[in-house]
Chains A and B, each alone.
Chain A
Amino acid sequence: MQFIPQNEYIEESIKRHGRRLDYAERKRKREARQVHKDSQFAQKVTGLRAKMYNKKRHAEKIQMKKTIKQHEEKNAKQKDDEAVPEGAVPGYLLDREGQQRAKVLSNMIKQKRKEKAGKWNVPLPKVRGIAEDEMFKVLRSGKTKSKSWKRMVTKATFVGEGFTRKPPKYERFIRPSAMRYKKAHVTHPELKATFCLPIIGVKKNPQSPLYTQLGVLTKGTVIEVNVSELGLVTTGGKVVWGKYAQVTNNPENDGCVNALLLV
């Protein structure tokens, strides 16, 4: 049972006679004692009451932390309002809408050096290994289907322009036309925009050189895309034609090729 005053006589009395002289002292002590009391209760309590108590305590703690944080923010030195934003543009380019501005991509020497080393700093550095039996399906041939030298690629592939299939006798690897891709959705990391760009070729499939040769597009494959419509230029003032991009999804599952441009 909690004591509930029936009228406002307490307030009235305080107003009339004031508080006890040691009121503040007693209050401080009581509050100081309260945490110990709470602790004892928390240790002793069991069952449903414990559940309810802990829930209440949890909410209180969250509230407390929030309040502390607010105070800290108030006390902390305000973030510099006069910070100068990045990416200065001259007055004649200000307020022009639809202008996406990205850094001109790497210079040619760097690009060439990278190409030579065959190493790129790529967004997906590690890929899951794909075993040959997952990559290829064995096709049996011969009159009695006893020969099994033919393979069908079960992944998405890029097949160059003007490719004609070899005669069946010599065609060891079949790349199904349903799984061929000509375009990729390439995201420019700085522009934060995605473009549907034609694929020029498969530069490297990290799984194996054979897959590179076959033009297999798996996650992590570095492809070359035609970026001429992006209007990027080199330091020499020429329009960049081909740039590398890395495939970021599993095209065989998704039905499209998503890639990230390597800048």
Chain B
Amino acid sequence: MADQTPENVIAQFVNEQGEVLHQSLSVPANINPEQLALVLNTLLQQEVIKQIKYTWDQGSSLVKTTEYQEIQKSLVDDIIKPGKHSTEETFKIVYRPQAVFRVRAVTRCSSSLTGHTDAILNVAFSPCGTMLASAGGDTTVRIWDLNTETPQSQLKGHKHWVQHVAWSPNSKYLASAGMDGMVIIWEARTGKQHCIMRGHTKWISALAWEPLHLNPKCARLASSSADGTIRVWDVVHKRMVFSMSQHTAPVMCVKWGGDGLIYSASRDKTIKVWESTVGKLVKTLEGHAHWVTSLALSTDTVLRTGANDHTGKIYKDESEAQKRALERYKQATAGKPERLVSGSDDFTMYLWEPSTNKKPLKRMVGHQKTVNHVAFSPDGRWIASASFDKSVKIWNAQTGEFISSLRGHVAEVYQVVWSSDSRMILSASKDSTIKLWDLKTKKMKMELPGHADEVFTVDWSPAGDKAASGSKDKTLKIWRQ
């Protein structure tokens, strides 16, 4: 009698902040996620004036211990049967909105682009999703036309390996930097050299453009170098604005945050937060016990894409684009300060909220070797980390809790990248393959072999239709569904 499940249970929908959406309602106990989503969407249409398509992602029974349980099959199978929650009480079901669009998984290689004469070290899609830039050990930067998947222009100017390329958020400029310590700005459409900026005494590890909503002209750019400095350059006046030199070891990563802060991670085990107008040191985040190798911001995707959203709208002028970018930024942060995650050689990751606190929110342990790359999902809910221990791990970005470990690579994983709808992850590995992982099932969805050597870099177009990977075998591969 006791184990008989009732037909109906009382449920309540709660959003992530804990606000109750609607008064309690009775739902059938064997309701599945799709049906729940249907109910939820109907409710939201009534409640929310602006109509947004919410789809079901995760449900949970919010008990006093705030233990979350994902609803996979149905309410009965996942929660009532295992006895996680009494049927007498109200079920609090937490919902999370998902992206209104869906990115189709990349499954095949549509072209192998040759041209580089040495390993490809970095690939980057333009924020508008129409161009692709690749940089390699042959000192050139190449821009590829994505419609025809053919070379568009070859940019010569560097004297040594080009380590990093970065598109300005308005897709007008392409910045490249490398082992020769020069930053070169190119005009993306014509392929002409805009300016060369010299100043760094050692190789440059990363570049970061000023976000579009802070400066619609995309005039400033930060570069981090092995000489321990971060320099901010003015692209319009073609000069250095200021240099920030507090780090005592090579700076490996730099990010320009949406709140006007610059974050830098260095091999001196610290992360430093700088103010971006004059270059004043704001905070030093300490905690790591070894080199800090990688940084990711919860707003990375929205900062990278600027005003370009999934609708592909083109804005008339800069101020309009800026307005849209700001709107998108606000939507992405939802009024909360942006969060930062750092990966390190000490095998751990830290979750920070740099604008409020210099203490970490959470120390994320679990990897058994160097964490090489971290990435926030575009919706800011998940963190993926790539490690030399051959695994990719998924973490909850709110709390920093470990969610799942994705195993399958047989060698070091170098990079991870999210699809723009936050449903899939691509990982590039030393074992010459790229693997596509599904966040819902937490399993490998697709294996993409084809490269003849280590895959150094991978990127997924913000538009979601294509992914690109660059390898040591000197070829660039474009993947699509």
Binding site for B on A (CB under 8 A): 82, 84, 86-92, 94-95, 103-104, 107, 231, 233-239
Contact = CB atoms under 8 A, between A and B. Distances in A.
B410 A239 contact: yes
27 contacts: A82-B159, A84-B118, A84-B138, A87-B118, A87-B119, A88-B121, A88-B161, A90-B163, A90-B456, A91-B121, A91-B163, A92-B252, A92-B372, A92-B414, A103-B453, A104-B432, A107-B452, A233-B431, A234-B432, A235-B450, A235-B451, A235-B452, A236-B432, A237-B429, A237-B431, A237-B433, A237-B449
A84 B160 CA distance: 6
A238 B457 CA distance: 19
A249 B138 CA distance: 40
Contacts of A233: 410-411, 430-432
Q: Name the residue among A90, A103, A235 with the largest chain B CB count within 10 angstroms.
A: A90
B429 A91 contact: no
B373 A92 contact: yes
Contacts of A89: 119, 121, 137, 456
A82 B138 CA distance: 12
Task: Give the top 10 A-B pairs by smallest Cβ distance, nearest first.
Answer: A88-B137, A237-B433, A233-B431, A88-B161, A237-B431, A88-B119, A236-B449, A91-B205, A90-B121, A104-B453
A11 to B, nearest CB: 55
A236 to B, nearest CB: 5
B203 interface: yes
B411 A236 contact: no
Given A91-B164, A237-B447, 7 more contacts: A84-B118, A88-B137, A89-B456, A91-B206, A231-B411, A233-B411, A239-B431
Interface string B272-295: 000000000000000000000110
Interface residues of B, number: 43
B137 A237 contact: no
Contacts of B139: 84
Contacts, number: 82
A91 B410 contact: no
Nearest to B345: A96
Interface string B447-473: 101111110110000000000000011
A239 B410 CA distance: 7
Contacts of A107: 452
B67 to A, nearest CB: 37
Given A235-B452, A237-B431, A90 B410 contact: no
B168 interface: no
A263 B457 CA distance: 26
B298 interface: no
B136 interface: yes
Interface in B258-308: 293-294
Nearest to B429: A237
Contacts of B457: 90
B159 A91 contact: no
B48 to A, nearest CB: 43
For A87, A94, A107, A231, the residue with the greatest tally of chain B CB atoms inside 10 Å of its CB is A94
B122 interface: yes
Contacts of A239: 410, 431
A87 B432 contact: no
B409 interface: yes
A104 B122 CA distance: 20
A175 B130 CA distance: 68
B324 to A, nearest CB: 33
A237 B410 contact: yes
Nearest to B453: A104
A234 B451 CA distance: 9
Contact of A88 (B136, B164, B252): B136
Interface string B242-260: 0000000010100000000
Interface string B135-178: 01111000000000000000000011101100000000000000
A236 B160 CA distance: 31
Given A233-B410, A237-B409, A237-B447, A88 B452 contact: no
Contacts of A92: 252, 293-294, 372-373, 414
Contacts of B452: 104, 107, 235
Nearest to A236: B449
Nearest to A81: B159
Contacts of B472: 103-104
